[in-house]
Amino acid sequence: MSLDIEKESLEAHVDLCSERYKRMEEKLDNLDSRITGIESVLVDIRDSISSDKANRSKQMMTIGMAVIGGLISAVGFLTYQLIINS
């Protein structure tokens, strides 16, 4: 029905196109705001992953140093016991 009105009246066509463009612009603005929100969430996730990776690296270094320290202490103690018992 609106197509018939548009065919007969240029003013009606212009008004309908104006409404269509307004709705399309509203939808694009809504989409833009949603994408901006998603982008900020992705940045937060990226920062969180980076922070977790750095913390995990520090944790692994601490554990490694503790194991190496324990092994060095054990070797030192065994060497000391070998020297004393010889």
What integer pLDDT is reported at residue 3 of this predicted model?
67
Q: Is 43 helix (H, G, I), strand (E, B) or coil?
A: helix
The predicted model scores a pTM of 0.55
The Cα–Cα gap between 36 and 29 comes to 10
CA pair distance 37, 43, nearest whole angstrom? 10
What integer pLDDT is reported at residue 25 of this predicted model?
A: 97
Domain boundaries in the chain?
2-85
pLDDT at residue 77 greater than cutoff 80: yes
Cα(18)–Cα(76) distance, integer angstroms: 86
Cα–Cα dist 63/57, whole Å:
10
pLDDT grade, residue 11 (50/70/90)?
A: confident
